[in-house]
Amino acid sequence: MDLTPKEIVNELDKYIIGQKEAKRAVAIALRNRYRRSKLPKELREEITPKNIIMKGPTGVGKTEIARRLAKLVKAPFIKIEATKYTEVGYVGRDVESMVRDLVEVSVRMVKDEKHHEVEEKVKPLVERKILDALYKSIEKTENQTEEEYREKIKEDYLQGKLEDNLIEVEVSEAPKAFGMVGGMGEINLTDMLGGLFPSQKKRKKMKVKIARDLIFNDECDKQIDDDALNQEAIRRAEEDGIIFIDEMDKIVGKESGKGPDVSREGVQRDILPIVEGSTVATKYGNIKTDFILFIAAGAFHVSKIEDMIPELQGRFPIRVELNNLTKKDFKEILTVTKNSIILQYSSLLKVDNIDLEFTDDALDEIAEIAEQENETSENIGARRLHTIMEQLIEDTSFNATGKHPMAKVVIDKDYVLKSFSDTKKKYDLKKYVL
Which of 321, 340, 360 terminates a domain? The answer is: 321
pLDDT at 40: 93
Q: Tell me the per-residue pLDDT of 236-282, one tens digit each, with 9 for 90 and over.
A: 999 999 999 999 988 886 554 444 444 678 888 889 999 999 999 99
pLDDT of residue 84: 86
Element (H, E) at 202: strand 200-207
Share of the chain above pLDDT 90, in %: 42
Domain hosting 167: range is 110-229
- Integer Cα distance of 258 and 242 in angstroms: 34
Provide the 8-state DSSP code for 301.
S
Q: Within this chain, do residues 38 and 68 fall inside the same structural domain, yes or no?
A: yes
Q: Are 305 and 317 in contact (CB under 8 A)?
A: no
The predicted structure's pLDDT at residue 90:
63
Question: Under a CB-based contact definition with an 8 Å cutoff, are residues 271 and 284 in contact?
Answer: no
**The pairing of beta strand 293-298 with beta strand 242-246:** parallel
Give the DSSP H/E element, type plus range, for residue 239.
helix 226-240
How does pLDDT run across 299-328, given as a tens digit for each residue? 888 888 888 889 999 999 999 999 899 999
Whether residue 207 is found in the same domain as residue 261: no
Residue 432 falls within a domain, yes or no? no
Per-residue pLDDT, 419: 87
Name residue 409's amino acid: V
212-241 pLDDT, tens digit each: 999 998 989 889 898 999 999 999 999 999
Q: For the chain, how big is the Rg over CA atoms in Å?
A: 27
**pLDDT (0 to 100) of residue 434:** 41
Domain co-membership, 225 together with 238: no
For residue 183, pLDDT over 50 is answered with no
Q: How many CA atoms lie within 13 A of 313 on its CB side?
A: 8
Candidates 104, 79, 102, 82; CA nearest to 93 is: 82
How does 246-262 read in b/e, with b if 16+ C-beta sit within 10 Å?
A: bbbbbbbeeeeeeeeee
Query: How many other C-beta atoms are found inside a 10 Å radius of the C-beta of residue 19?
Result: 25
Residue closest to 342 by CA, chosen among 277, 386, 287 = 386
Residue 368 lies in a domain: yes
Give the domain-ending residue among 298, 321, 344: 321
Q: What is the CATH number of the domain that holds 340?
A: 1.10.8.60
Residues 48-77, mean pLDDT to the nearest whole number: 91
Q: Which of 321, 351, 369 is the last residue of a domain?
A: 321
